[in-house]
Amino acid sequence: MKSQQFLIKKIKLLLFFSFFLFFVACNKDNDPINVSVESEEPRNLPAAQLQNVVYGENERNVMDVFLPENRNSKTPVLILIHGGSWSSGDKAAMNPVANMFSQNYGIASISINYRLIPNYTLPAQMEDIQGVVNKIVKEQPTWHISKENIYLFGVSAGAHLSLLYAYGYDVQDKIKGVISMCGPTNFVLPDMIEEHDDWNQVITELTGYSYEENPESWQQASPYYFVNSSTCSTILAHCEDDSVVPYSQAVMLNEKLEANGVETRFLSYPQGGHLFLGVNLSEILEASKEMILDK
């Protein structure tokens, strides 16, 4: 009789532990201690486009997001910044490039609008780029992209803003590389101050001061003066016959990058002007892809 009671107790105990183990196994997916990041990664995600995503309070604080298929938490992100003398322009101009990077290279690409002069001076534009980075970090779990592997691509005024943010304002060290197409890099030069009245006016509107009033503000607006040995990888593309942004701007920055041991690539073209007319842009795009995907 005792042996029967002992056997019944043993069976009950085994059934209890079996039920307990089954319960734990069923709830394992909800246990944050036991679930790895990799196990939560969705597979075979389709490509997606998100239009006019808000990243700030101003009406200009919107962006278009191009998410590639099969993305995951390691998918790099490219922020594209349009030109327009800091006073005009729209993200739509960069959307074809953003879409190409997303579809052809599997890089999540974001084309942004930002606040414009003369109503908004620096550092408003830097705050806007920071707002975009913050939005990427916030949405990373739902967009399934990297929040640490971020790059900037800018044209003309957008190139200047890309360089300035990457070199001088990226305190979180999120930006791993920057691509500049015909971007101004140093406003504190005779050929920028004395020889171009139009530059004088636009930089005064960008900084909020004339050079005579506050020369330091012009230096603080120049990416050149933020270069050091920790500066991120850089691609510079410029045409020698650029009549808007002097070719010397790219040459000077490239020399300083090399002197500081920064990984840099200088793509120089004899002709093409400020708009790269007649230039085969595939070299620039391919170099950008290599920098982003080879990291």
Asked if the model's pLDDT at residue 239 lies above 50, the reply is yes
Side chain identity at residue 24, one-letter code: V
As given in the structure block, the two tokens for residue 21 are: 């183990």
- CB of 152 closer than 8 Å to CB of 234: no
Asked if the model's pLDDT at residue 122 lies above 90, the reply is yes
Q: In what order do the strands lie in the sheet with 150-155?
A: 48-54, 62-67, 108-112, 77-81, 150-155, 175-181, 233-239, 264-269
DSSP string, 183-233: -----SSHHHHTS-HHHHHHHHHHHSS-TTT-HHHHHHT-GGGG--TTPPE
pLDDT of residue 193: 75
From the number of C-beta atoms within 10 Å of its C-beta (0-12, 13-18, 19+), residue 287 rates as: middle
The model's pTM is 0.86
Quickly state the pLDDT bin for 198 (edges 50, 70, 90).
Answer: confident
As given in the structure block, the two tokens for residue 88 are: 């005009």
For β-strands 264-269 and 175-181, DSSP reports them as unpaired
Alpha-carbon distance values, 219 to 167, 207, 209, 262 (Å):
13, 10, 12, 21
As given in the structure block, the two tokens for residue 61 are: 């604080």
Asked if the model's pLDDT at residue 34 lies above 60, the reply is no
Mean pLDDT across the stretch 249-263? 99
pLDDT of residue 195: 66
Which of 126, 129, 123 is CA-nearest to residue 111?
Answer: 129
Residues pairing with 264 in the sheet: 234
Alpha-carbon distance values, 271 to 249, 265, 279 (Å):
16, 18, 8
Residues with Cβ within 8 Å of 171's Cβ and at least 6 positions away in sequence, in order, are none
Residue with the bigger pLDDT between 43 and 122: it is 122
Query: For 43, which DSSP code?
Result: S
Asked if the model's pLDDT at residue 267 lies above 90, the reply is yes
Asked if the model's pLDDT at residue 140 lies above 90, the reply is yes
Alpha-carbon distance values, 128 to 112, 198, 264 (Å):
9, 25, 26
Residue with the bigger pLDDT between 134 and 24: it is 134
Asked if the model's pLDDT at residue 244 lies above 60, the reply is yes
Cα of first residue to Cα of last residue in the chain, in angstroms, is 73
Q: What is the mean pLDDT of the chain?
A: 89
